[in-house]
Amino acid sequence: MAVCVAVIAKENYPLYIRSIPTENELKFHYMVHTSLDVVDEKISAMGKALVDQRELYLGLLYPTEDYKVYGYVTNSKVKFVMVVDSSNTALRDNEIRSMFRKLHNSYTDVMCNPFYNPGDRIQSRAFDGMVTSMMIQARRGKESLVARAPGAWSPEEAAKGGAEDL
């Protein structure tokens, strides 16, 4: 489950950071901070020329024994960092992606608000609500994961899949 969600501005200061077990916040803040280095590394690794084709979802930044940290960068270099509990092994990559997508959408909505000055802390209640739902849902979600498998490809599957797929 997402135990911590952070939105980092382009200049690497936090716009929004929130963690679920609120007593251990400092640890998560620290993890997010250290993960920024990894994010930068991944961004630079893509190369300047490919910045447009760079995938926004960065994937697993670094795992610890308890947590995994995922990263996501927008085209405006705003970074979303999510710390996920490692015990939630069943959290699929797709789910993480969808969570980041929702984050990005909500962030966009916040940006759309003319009263929001870019660079301010994000104080939107809608954004908070979305993050809360994500943190809680992630906790619930791991039990009810649906495995959508594009994985194994076999002729039968292709045949059937092709037929179904239209």
Partner 1 sequence: MEGLTLSDAEQKYYSDLFSYCDIESTKKVSANGRVLELFRAAQLPNDVVLQIMELCGATRLGYFGRSQFYIALKLVAVAQSGFPLRVESINTVKDLPLPRFVASKNEQESRHPTSYSSDSENQGSYSGVIPPPPGRGQVKKGSTSHDTVQPRASVDQQEPVSPVVSPQQSPPASPHTWRKHNRHPSGGNSERPLAGPGPFWSPFGEAQSGSSAGDAVWSGHSPPPPQENWVSFADTPPTSTLLTMHPASVQDQTTVRTVASATTANEIRRQSSSYDDPWKITDEQRQYYVNQFKTIQPDLNGFIPGSAAKEFFTKSKLPILELSHIWELSDFDKDGALTLDEFCAAFHLVVARKNGYDLPEKLPESLMPKLIDLEDSADVGDQPGEVGYSGSPAEAPPSKSPSMPSLNQTWPELNQSSEDTAIVHPVPIRMTPSKIHMQEMELKRTGSDHTNPTSPLLVKTSDLSEENKINSSVKFASGNTVADGYSSSDSFTSDPEQIGNNVTRQRSHSGTSPENTAPPPPPPRPQPSHSRSSSLDMNRTFSVTTGQQQAGVVAQPPAVPPRPQPSQAPGPVVHRPVDADGLITHTSTSPQQIPEQPNFADFSQFEVFAASNVNEEQDDEAEKHPEVLPVEKSSDPASSRVAKTDSKIEEKTAASAPANVSKGTTPLAPPPKPVRRRLKSEDELRPEVDEHTQKTGVLAAVLASQPSIPRSVGKDKKAIQASIRRNKETNTVLARLNSELQQQLKDVLEERISLEVQLEQLRPFSHL
State the residues that interact with partner 1 by CB under 8 A. 10, 52-53, 75-76, 78, 94, 97-98, 101-102, 104-106, 108-116, 118, 123-126, 129-130, 148, 150, 153-156, 158-163, 165-166
For residue 22, the cross-strand partners are: none
Complex with partner 1: residue 59 or 63, whichever CB lies closer:
59
Whole-angstrom Cα distance, residue 107 to residue 88?
Answer: 25
DSSP 117: P
Least distance (Å) between residue 77 CB and partner 1: 8
Complex with partner 1: residue 23 or 156, whichever CB lies closer:
156
Complex with partner 1: residue 2 or 110, whichever CB lies closer:
110
Give DSSP secondary structure letters for 9-25: -TTS-EEEEEESSGGGH
DSSP 84: E
Among residues 88, 134, 74, the alpha carbon closest in space to that of 58 is found at 74
Complex with partner 1: residue 24 or 105, whichever CB lies closer:
105
Least distance (Å) between residue 52 CB and partner 1: 6
Least distance (Å) between residue 91 CB and partner 1: 16
The helix/strand/coil state of 64 is: coil
The helix/strand/coil state of 145 is: coil
